[in-house]
Amino acid sequence: MYLIDFNKPVHIHFIGIGGISMSGLAELLISKNFTVSGSDNKESVLTRQLAAAGCRIFIGQSADNIDSTIDAAVYTAAIHPDNPEYDRCIKLGIPMLTRAELLGQVMTNYRTAIGVSGTHGKTTTTSMLSEILLLADTDPTISVGGMLPSIGGNMRIGHSDMFLTEACEYTNSFLSFHPTMDIILNVEEDHLDFFKDLDDIRASFKKYTELLPDDGFLIINSSIENYQYFYKDSRCSVITFGLNPENSNYSAKDFHIDDKGDYCYTLLYNNEARCKVALKVPGEHNILNSLAAIAAAVTLGIDLDTAVRGIADYSGVDRRFQVKGVCSGFTIIDDYAHHPAEITATLKAARHYPHKKLWCVFQPHTYTRTKAFLPEFAKALSLADHVILAKIYSAREADIYGVSSADIQRLIAKEGTPCEYFESFPEIESFIKDNCKEGDVVITMGAGNILEVGEDLLSPELSTVTAP
């Protein structure tokens, strides 16, 4: 593997630079005086920001984008050997490394390197912890998988010895990391196009914890089945969180939900009440996310009062129960949920949000995930009053699995929930305009481009858009 000397800037090219993590890494290298170029299939806010920072951006991927001035190339799991830029790098003998390998090398430059992992909740928990670290004046470098308003995007370049990032398990990416603190939020079945089964996923997370040094820290959800398995061969310090105070260092009781679905609770430490915690984001799942962030912060030496105030400062990131606006009297919310457990959590949270009728416009993400969880998707989506399905967002996959959104529709119908399936976004938008009423809530949901439906509906009314 090619090793980057961060004290000797060279020319690094990113294949797929517009991705949320890739763009952040590119920004980091630019701040270290590296020459950075990169390509992506389309222009975006992130590519425009990089261009403004001095990065050479190519729209469209071509062998012509690669020349001998490039010292190394970085690519993501979505890039395959038949990619023209990847192929050109191989032919020219240009060293290559994955996004995860680069991120792992970045972590070695920080005394405290925190990786937030889990099947769900990584972006939210990373963002919550970011708010705490900023409030505590730790001046961290932060890489987050969403647009966090308090840092003005997805990357913050700090000047301390602290680095915070999400740690994704897909393709075992996080096994290239060098953390001093691991956070494990949950471990469930997902990414079954790569992992064999849940046991395979659990084994990967165990290997992740084994990367910790003996003086490192593991923050882990005690509700994970046999959670002790993940650290049984490690010497690191273990701190637990969860809703059961009997086996959790950090826990919660006395839940209260306000009129917007946001929670307040009493924080317990070793089963003793310590203080009240108020959330500005809805959903019981965010209690667990906040407990993880608080546990990590206190372990890092931040006082509890600052940690709790940091949680109160967090109001969400783009695409995580993001209120986009009001169109013709109904509220449009966008959410990234694309796994049955995430959908369940989001729709349960939405039940506490003011509404007359709850609509869910869902775009399944990848054929393999859809096929693996068909019954689970139907059950989760049936928590809405009415479901609208879009075509499957293929992402990195070919349509060879014999599954479609119509399969989910049939199962939802058996659950007794009204459900439509449309092939195109204009059809979905037309149906929403004709059927949604004042006081309804419409959630566009999925990891693909389904957010465009809400944006299209709002676009004629941008001057009058308000949030309730």
Residue 460: predicted pLDDT: 63
Residue 468: predicted pLDDT: 40
Query: E strands within 5-134?
Result: 11-15, 35-40, 56-59, 72-75, 96-98, 112-117
Residue 349: predicted pLDDT: 86
Query: E strands within 296-427?
Result: 322-327, 330-335, 358-362, 386-389, 419-421
User: Widest CA span of the chain, in angstroms?
Assistant: 63
| Element containing residue 125 per DSSP (H, E) | helix 122-135
Say yes or no to pLDDT of 270 above 50. Answer: yes
Cβ-count burial of 446 within 10 angstroms (0-12 exposed, 13-18 middle, 19+ buried)? buried
Question: What average pLDDT score do residues 131-140 get?
Answer: 98
If asked whether residues 351 and 286 sit together in one domain, one would say no
User: Is residue 324 annotated as part of the catalytic site, yes or no?
Assistant: no
If asked whether residues 208 and 295 sit together in one domain, one would say yes
Which of these three, 97, 130, 151, is where a domain ends? Answer: 97
Pick the catalytic residue from 123, 126, 171, 180.
123
Residues 357 and 384: their CA atoms lie apart, in Å, by 8
Pick the catalytic residue from 27, 101, 166, 342.
166
CATH number at residue 38: 3.40.50.720
Domain coverage including residue 28 = 11-97
Residue 464: predicted pLDDT: 39
User: Is residue 357 annotated as part of the catalytic site, yes or no?
Assistant: no
| Element containing residue 103 per DSSP (H, E) | helix 99-107
Phi-psi region of 458 (alpha: psi -120 to 50; beta: other; left: phi over 0): alpha
Residues 150 and 407: their CA atoms lie apart, in Å, by 41
| pLDDT tens by residue, 404-457 | 999 999 999 999 999 999 999 999 999 999 999 999 999 999 988 999 999 999
Q: Which amino acid is at 253?
A: K
User: Is residue 108 annotated as part of the catalytic site, yes or no?
Assistant: no
CATH number at residue 342: 3.90.190.20
Could you tell me which of 441, 128, 410, 137 has the C-alpha nearest to residue 290?
Answer: 128
If asked whether residues 306 and 331 sit together in one domain, one would say no
Pick the catalytic residue from 85, 122, 131, 368.
122
Say yes or no to pLDDT of 317 above 80. Answer: no
Cα angle value 181/340/207 (rounded, 5°) = 30
- List alpha helices for 232-339, DSSP H: 285-299, 304-313
Phi, psi (5° rounding) for residue 101? -65, -40
pTM listed for this prediction? 0.85
If asked whether residues 286 and 337 sit together in one domain, one would say no
If asked whether residues 187 and 223 sit together in one domain, one would say yes
Sole residue written with tokens 């060279």: 10
Question: What average pLDDT score do residues 161-175 get?
Answer: 95
52: CB partners within 8 A, 6+ apart: none
Residues 19 and 44: their CA atoms lie apart, in Å, by 10
Say yes or no to pLDDT of 284 above 90. Answer: no
If asked whether residues 260 and 141 sit together in one domain, one would say yes
If asked whether residues 445 and 349 sit together in one domain, one would say yes
CA 410 → CA 364, 377, 427, distances in Å? 15, 11, 19
Sole residue written with tokens 């290298």: 29
Say yes or no to pLDDT of 462 above 70. Answer: no
167 secondary structure, DSSP code: -
Question: What average pLDDT score do residues 251-265 get?
Answer: 88
Residues 145 and 147: their CA atoms lie apart, in Å, by 7
Question: What average pLDDT score do residues 163-173 get?
Answer: 94
Residues 269 and 40: their CA atoms lie apart, in Å, by 47
Say yes or no to pLDDT of 465 above 70. Answer: no
298 secondary structure, DSSP code: H
The total number of structural domains in the chain stands at: 3
If asked whether residues 275 and 363 sit together in one domain, one would say no
If asked whether residues 457 and 329 sit together in one domain, one would say yes
Say yes or no to pLDDT of 257 above 90. Answer: no
Residues 35 and 210: their CA atoms lie apart, in Å, by 35
CB atoms within 10 A of CB 33: 12
Question: What average pLDDT score do residues 365-391 get?
Answer: 95
Could you tell me which of 428, 424, 448 has the C-alpha nearest to residue 436?
Answer: 428
Residue 343: predicted pLDDT: 94
| pLDDT tens by residue, 203-237 | 999 999 999 999 999 999 999 999 999 999 899 99
Task: Tell me the average pLDDT of the chain.
Answer: 93
Residue 283: predicted pLDDT: 82
CB atoms within 10 A of CB 201: 20
Question: What average pLDDT score do residues 8-16 get?
Answer: 97
If asked whether residues 23 and 92 sit together in one domain, one would say yes
If asked whether residues 60 and 156 sit together in one domain, one would say no
Measure the N-to-C terminal CA separation of the chain; round to a whole number of Å: 51
Question: What average pLDDT score do residues 189-212 get?
Answer: 94
| Element containing residue 219 per DSSP (H, E) | strand 217-221
Pair of tokens at residue 267: 């924080």
In this prediction, what percent of the chain has a pLDDT beyond 90? 81
| pLDDT tens by residue, 375-386 | 999 999 999 999
